[in-house]
Amino acid sequence: MNSLQQLLEAEQALFSIFSRIDAKVKQNLKRVLEAFRRHRVGAHHFAGVSGYGHDDLGRETLDKVFADVMGAEAAVVRVQFVSGTHAIATALFGVLRPGDEMLAVVGSPYDTLEEVIGLRGHGHGSLIDFGIKYRELPLTGEGTVDWEALSQTIGDNTRLVLIQRSCGYSWRPSLSIADIEKIVYIVKQQNPDIVCFVDNCYGEFIEEREPTHVGADLIAGSLIKNPGGTVVAAGGYVAGRADLVEAAACRLTAPGIGSAGGATFDQNRLLFQGLFLAPQMVGEAMKGNHLTAYVFDKLGYPVNPLPLAPRRDVIQAIKLGSPEKLIAFCRVVQQHSPIDSYVEPVPWDMPGYESQVVMAGGTFIEGSTLEFSADGPLREPYVVFCQGGTHWTHVALALEALIDAIGPAPGY
């Protein structure tokens, strides 16, 4: 069977799943549209304010719309966040104080948070440098939350529980909203004052509810991922309980300024438009992930999630087993990208990452992972992580070449 036939077989097998994704997109878009109407978004909100950014009506309205969509009391949506990691760090430093403890309940965090916490690098002002204690609850052997141990792990000084929704660079199931709701319930049963904070990167609009709909106190993420809809040039957000959001805003700007500052540099239209486009773009990415999983599962490679499993983020992992195949995979994705298709990805020391990383990122927005991209750290078992895709048909075109370039798994 040639690559085109394999893709046609996959598309036919996934037809009913694609239809269910479309239904979910419709529900999420309805939620976004209702928020736009409720807050009377108009063309006058596209105008920006320079300098300090005081009295920016568009920015203030966007914060309210975003909070509404996320089921939160408040939100700060700012182009001044340089990444999702920056938004997460700002939230953590806003909430935690010396002597507090942060407990990660989904095993080790994503690579870029290790230096924020202080697990790697010293003297740069990590949480540990500021006297904040850190512990983590290991995952079970199956890569799931250790539900039995969770309630017993919470200590007297635990101030914040870190819940990483996406699998990151680990081979585990990403969390569903039901999983997050269960974690929050167990934590609040032990101590209702503990802040349940969710790293929401890659997870927005996957389901019809967000973590703040089910009791999470605070969430944060990147606008060059899901909620930016592939058109926002930069930025991030923090949403949740109003006092916690303001505490994070005071770390982004300064105490006394908080959420009242921050020029939007004439980006308000794109920020609104990205939020409007986000449900559809996320739906297309989910379809591309199902297609990728189906094809590579048939080729004999371990995939996470499985081809027919519900999506919990916009990431599809494939265990390729060798650095050569990981690099080859990224090169094919780059060749089938709209931007920089002629560039050849090579492993490099990327800031914030422990291992060398090879990345295919021929995207209109640099680093956008809601656009079709792929990357992976050069460490065993050499897993490639595919993200995004504005059209599932774009993913299909790349897969046709990937089938030929990577071939079946050894011995398959």
Residue 310 within any structural domain of the chain: yes
Side-chain-side CA neighbours of 239 within 13 Å: the count stands at 28
- The residue out of 214, 234, 266 marking a domain boundary is 266
Residue 108 within any structural domain of the chain: yes
Instruction: Output the CA–CA distances (angstroms, integers) from residue 198 to 45, 86, 166, 296, 310, in the order listed.
Output: 29, 14, 10, 31, 20
**Whether 233 and 300 share a structural domain:** no
- The residue out of 197, 231, 266 marking a domain boundary is 266
Helices (H), 143-222: 147-153, 177-190
Residue 137 amino acid letter: L
Residue 37 within any structural domain of the chain: no
Average pLDDT of the chain? 96
- The residue out of 242, 266, 290 marking a domain boundary is 266
Domain of residue 359, CATH code: 3.90.1150.60
Handedness of CA 403, 404, 406, 408 (dihedral sign): positive
Main-chain dihedrals φ then ψ at residue 386, nearest 5 degrees: -90, 140
How far is residue 157's CA from residue 135's CA, in Å, rounded to a whole number?
11
**Whether 124 and 176 share a structural domain:** yes
Residue 197 sits at the vertex; the CA angle it makes with 220 and 152, to the nearest 5 degrees, is 160
Confirm if 117 and 90 have CB atoms less than 8 A apart: no
From the number of C-beta atoms within 10 Å of its C-beta (0-12, 13-18, 19+), residue 135 rates as middle
**Whether 254 and 288 share a structural domain:** no
Residue 32 within any structural domain of the chain: no
What pLDDT is attached to residue 281?
Answer: 98
**Whether 260 and 281 share a structural domain:** no
Mean pLDDT, contiguous 10-residue spans, the chain (412 residues):
88 97 98 98 95 95 98 98 98 98 95 92 90 97 95 96 93 96 98 98 98 98 98 98 98 97 95 98 98 98 97 97 97 97 90 84 95 94 96 97 96 82
Residue 33 within any structural domain of the chain: no
Residue 271 within any structural domain of the chain: no
**Whether 196 and 229 share a structural domain:** yes
What pLDDT is attached to residue 168?
Answer: 83
From the number of C-beta atoms within 10 Å of its C-beta (0-12, 13-18, 19+), residue 38 rates as exposed
How far is residue 395's CA from residue 292's CA, in Å, rounded to a whole number?
8
Instruction: Output the CA–CA distances (angstroms, integers) from residue 133 to 98, 216, 229, in the order listed.
Output: 8, 21, 36
Residue 219 amino acid letter: I
Residue span of the structural domain in which 342 resides: 3-27+276-406
Cβ atoms < 10 Å from Cβ of 54 = 11
What pLDDT is attached to residue 362?
Answer: 95
The total of structural domains in the chain comes to 2
Residue 40 within any structural domain of the chain: no
Domain of residue 133, CATH code: 3.40.640.10
What pLDDT is attached to residue 350?
Answer: 74
Confirm if 143 and 319 have CB atoms less than 8 A apart: no
Residue 53 within any structural domain of the chain: yes
